[in-house]
Chains A and B, each alone.
Chain A
Amino acid sequence: MVDVGTTLEMVQASQMGMQAIGAGLAVGLTGLGTGIAELGIGAAAVGATAENRDVFGLALLLTVIPETIVIFGLVVALLLLF
């Protein structure tokens, strides 16, 4: 439903705003997802590393696996914005 007084500029501006909101949601929500996923892994990884320094490499690797989610979100956000 388009208002009678709406000009082309206003439509474009509100589209820009929608894009920005979409980009923000993409990064924000995926960031939350990654954070929740890394919560448990990170805690366990720190514990394991404290027990045995040698597993640091593996622990780091496991901890950062969920980062993929936020990277996807970021790619989507950048594609939306630029």
Chain B
Amino acid sequence: MLRPERMRRLLIAAPQGEIETVVSELYRHNVYHIEDFVPESESPDGLSIGHPLPGASDAASALIKVRAIESAAGIDPENVEARAKIPASKVRAMMRTDLPAIQEEAEGLIASRSRLETQQKEHEQRAKELEPFTVVPLDLELYRGYTRFTVFTGHVAHDVDIDVPHEKYFSDKTAGNMIVVVVQAEHREPVERALLDAGFQAVPVPDGTGSPAELRNAHLADAGRIGDEITAVNTRIAEFRERRTDFLVACDELLTADVERAEAPLRFATTEETFITEGWVPEGQADRIREALERATNGRIYIEELEIDDDTAVPVEYENPSFSKPTQVLMDIYARPRYSEIDPTLMVAIVFPIFFGMILGDVGYGTVLLALSLGLRKFLKGDAGRMLLKVLGIASISSIVFGILYSEFLGFSLPWPALIFSRHLNIGGAAGGHGPQVVELMIVAIWIGILHITFGRILGMINARRLYHGKHATQAVIAHAGWLGVMWGILLLIWSFFPIPMMPDLTGLPVVVMGLNVSAVAGVVLLLAGIIGIAQENALEVVELPTIISHVLSYARLVAVGLSSVAIAMVVNYISIGMIIEPQLETITPLGVIIIIAGIIVFLLGHVLNTALGLLGGGLHSIRLHYVEFFTKFYKGGGKKYNPFGMKPKFMEE
């Protein structure tokens, strides 16, 4: 909690003969984060990268085959729900006996589908080419084979008068009109010019004989028949998927494991007779893996624990109570914490839902979002997606709680007055009570900002002592104190001149010097000391001073975004109920019923839109306040992800 899991750095060395045992033992435990060996040209000890274990290329090519079948059949192992775990030995046996047949079956099905699709396209293309000719009462063979006549066929903007002897068919029953003109070859040029003036576009005469309409219908019938065949093949592919998914994903998993194991030596340093690997193990697991390795190799292994000298090299794994685990996904979007700094996941997990609730405090919207987060769990199978849904679930519960406090339900008020500050705007003349308490809400938001930022700066001091050493650490701590001094100095100055509701009123304190009272003097002193404190670390930072005001005021969005959401909800209610539905309820007529239904549609559409806006506004602004206003005060981030060598088998067991 509040800091990443403690790690131990292990160096493992063993004879080459034990490499397979060690690799499979490490893989089975799934806790060892391998530090890849990078050979340096000047390294004197003759260390080089290891060679893959025998069988690596076989496993890799088998894996490619399995993945090809999976993608052809539309199987995505990420989204497959594990039904029963197949023993690895059985998977291996089936891979030898069944896999070739399965591959053949899959390839056959896919090939026949693509062949049928090509055929279908061809028939459809032919039918399309014949389409314009179906409106002309001529058989196809009549268009061809003349030596003394020229045949024009094509689309034209309008009918054309031709002043030489000719035979002509015109129809406007098809898209773009269709014209067929037959003239003697010597009149070809004037006729062509006349046609071109009318926007003539030649259409080639399709192959074939007989009536174009019959021919086209035959092609369409063929295309339809082939479409049925494609459906049949698709059903067979679906059946194949149904039958084979379990086996294929188990194969995929087993082969992935094989390949990873076989290629592990590529990440080790080797000499002719031995290999060496460095890596990281969580503190709680270190002794167990040590014993396991010694037992597996009968003691033919050397394991040493190394000092941790560089904190950026340590892989970082979160260590959080289960309540704040889903919030890790929000941390990873920004940056994973560094090994020695404070992990703020827990604070985000507590404050984020509160901010979300403050913005979208509405029982109705909260319930809808809670239902959404529970309902979508069935469809989203990825880890990150599920964690986000859990975060949304917690946030929407907070939204319901704040909705009860604000007394809001889809913009209507609940049967009690607002328990904290009211956000009921005066829209449609419906507001009762004392109207919206915007100023009070703003001041509360500013207070939250002041406290959140102060907290962030204090964390900044703690972090500075953990991350830096010696003089730099002291300077950084003083700079953080300086920022706090400037902020509180400005606050004291403001309080000493202006009485602000819900904030200390210091205007009445005794005047000391130059018309300034005690708190104003204290404020000036704090402000100046703060600026010196900031400047002693980095003088350029002084230009950042205005951000103190902008960051504190930024918390006003907690109120502003929320109020806009309330306003939209109330406007939707007023338009749909006040303006459309209620006037119709006085005397019910058939037309009135339709208008009422339209009003209900407006109501639903408006609230769906506002739910989406509320989710976006509430979520993005709350997380932004953390990323921009809170994290910039103390958080460095940039830790490496802890990625242990091994896997948690989902579909098979070894």
Measuring CB to CB, which residues of chain A are less than 8 angstroms from any residue of chain B?
54, 56-57, 60-61, 64, 67-68, 71-72, 74-75, 78, 81-82
Contact = CB atoms under 8 A, between A and B. Distances in A.
Closest 5 CB pairs of A and B: A57-B334, A68-B550, A82-B438, A57-B335, A74-B560
6 contacts: A56-B333, A64-B624, A68-B550, A71-B550, A71-B560, A74-B557
A52 to B, nearest CB: 12
Interface string B535-560: 00000000000010010011011011
Interface residues of B, number: 21
B313 interface: no
A71 B632 contact: no
B439 interface: yes
Given A60-B334, A61-B627, 13 more contacts: A56-B334, A61-B628, A68-B547, A68-B550, A68-B553, A71-B550, A71-B553, A71-B554, A71-B556, A74-B557, A75-B553, A81-B438, A82-B436
Contact of B439 (A56, A57, A72, A82): A82
Nearest to B435: A82
A72 B553 contact: yes
Contacts of B473: none
B550 A78 contact: no
Nearest to B561: A74
Mostly, the A contact residues are helix
A72 B556 CA distance: 9
Given A67-B554, A71-B554, A72-B550, A78 B442 contact: yes
Contacts of B606: none
Contacts of B442: 75, 78
Interface in B412-463: 436, 438-439, 442
Interface in B267-286: none
Contacts of A78: 438-439, 442, 556, 559-560
A61 B623 CA distance: 11
Given A54-B335, A78-B442, A60 B627 contact: yes
B557 A71 contact: yes
Nearest to B442: A78
Given A56-B334, A78-B442, A82-B439, A61 B632 contact: yes
Given A71-B550, A71-B554, A57 B637 contact: yes
Contact of B624 (A60, A72, A75): A60
A20 to B, nearest CB: 13
A67 B621 CA distance: 11
Contacts of B557: 71, 74
A74 B624 CA distance: 17
B360 to A, nearest CB: 18
Nearest to A67: B554
Contacts of A68: 547, 550, 553-554
Interface in B145-168: none
A82 B560 CA distance: 13
A60 B631 CA distance: 12
Interface in B205-245: none
B627 A57 contact: yes
Contacts of B631: 57
Interface in B369-424: none
Contacts of A75: 442, 553, 556
Interface string B7-51: 000000000000000000000000000000000000000000000
Contacts of B334: 56-57, 60
Contact of A57 (B333, B438, B547): B333
Contacts of A61: 627-628, 632
Nearest to B638: A54
Nearest to A62: B628
A69 B637 CA distance: 28
A77 B645 CA distance: 57
